[in-house]
Amino acid sequence: MSIEKINMPQLGESVTEGTISQWLVKPGDHVNKYDPIAEVMTDKVNAEVPSSFTGTLTEIAAEEGETVAVGDLMCYIEVAGGESGETAVEEANTNTTGNTVAPEPKSEESSMKKRYSPAVMRLAQENDIQLDEVEGSGKGGRITRKDIEKIIASGGMDRKQEQPAESNVPAENASGNATIPESKQQVHTSEGAKEIPVTGVRKAIANNMVKAKTEIPHAWMMVEVDVTNLVKYRNSVKDRFKQEEGFGLTFFAFFVKAVSKALKEFPQLNSSWAGDKIIQHKDVNISIAVAKEQELFVPVIKAADEKSIKGIAKDIHGLASKARNGKLTAQDMEGGTFTVNNTGSFGSVQSMGVINHPQAAILQVESIVKRPVIIDDMFAARDMVNLCLSLDHRVLDGLICGQFLARLKEILENTSSDNTPIY
């Protein structure tokens, strides 16, 4: 018998960590290779982690709710076919002369006490917490994320014996006003307020948004588009399309097709920032936002520029259905090069999207509304939509983005049954 490690796998492109939402097995359970052992949430996807071996689970090293970096330990499993742990210890402690050296006793607490997860280390560093002073509540005295959060909620480590009394007085800034360190600030709540722990998908989204806003210098542009002809065209064929194909023909499919066409003409927007270089992608893979209750996923329509409007509509329907049923895979979330967000679905008419890191831009397609527009010096009721583009100013500037939006506007305003095939 041998003891093997199961580490956090790579669950998607650019995914660096995952939060264990639920263990599906417990120590002592027998598992077969490829059997799911845990459910893990990332900022890209919810997924089940399969066992890498057939054997008996002996120890869980990461608790539910804990965030584990890719490649870090999740659990141990005893596998048939190798040497036992005891045999391995005995052989490892035999010196070169053949004499057996008595192994030093190793308590479970000493082995687990300093086994910190990435989430614990990050929280401790951000809040100036010395981990060697923390009493862990986990197995073998291991310090868990909940232990650190409890310390943060109570105002930090108790250092009264280490610091003079006056150190508790807030420092003054240059203007003479007292300042409170950000990590020590507390939110005062009224009676009856509800506390909602930030975990799982919401935590992953929060971390991704902070990363995007702190690393990417956002800029914003908007154009107004007359889509009256597009609306008439879609409304004239939607019923027959639904009857023949079994899924709906949405306005969003027309917008995604137009964006993919414009990206082929302006590939600068189909790019990613990579530190010392800009990666300009050949494939046009459109990320779309799909909501499931309080969870948000960003699956990808692959090779959107090569698909018809029907093909794009089918992908949108399929990805949305998989998201609602919890069936999205890591492959569904990988490879996005540009994001189109259908903010118009909930009535928004103007918004600035946060760029989906490491992409260079995101387009918000707002709600189509009837508005009076002047045509040939006369008012006319037209179907109008705002297209709002957020751009990474390290990669793009206003000139190229303005040209892209002008071309996109032209494509959409000329969409009709005469020149825009659906199939």
Q: Which of 128, 158, 283, 397 is the catalytic position?
A: 397
> Could you please report the per-residue DSSP string of 16-32?
-EEEEEEES--TT-EE-
30, 128, 239, 393: the active-site residue: 393
| 350: nearest Cα among 325, 302, 387, 310 | 387
Whether residue 372 has a cis bond before it, omega within 30° of 0: no
Q: How far apart are CA 340 and CA 298, in angstroms?
A: 10
In whole angstroms, give the CA distance from residue 87 to residue 77. Answer: 16
Query: CA 360, CA 397: separation in Å to the nearest integer?
Result: 11
Q: How far is CA 268 from the centre of its chain?
A: 24
Q: Other CB atoms closer than 10 Å to residue 44's CB: what's the count?
A: 24
397 catalytic residue (yes or no):
yes
Q: Do 216 and 355 contact (CB within 8 A), yes or no?
A: yes
Instruction: Kindly list the distances between the CA atom of residue 241 and the CA atoms of 31, 314, 422, in Å, as whole numbers in the listed order.
Output: 47, 11, 10
Provide the annotated active-site residues: 393, 397
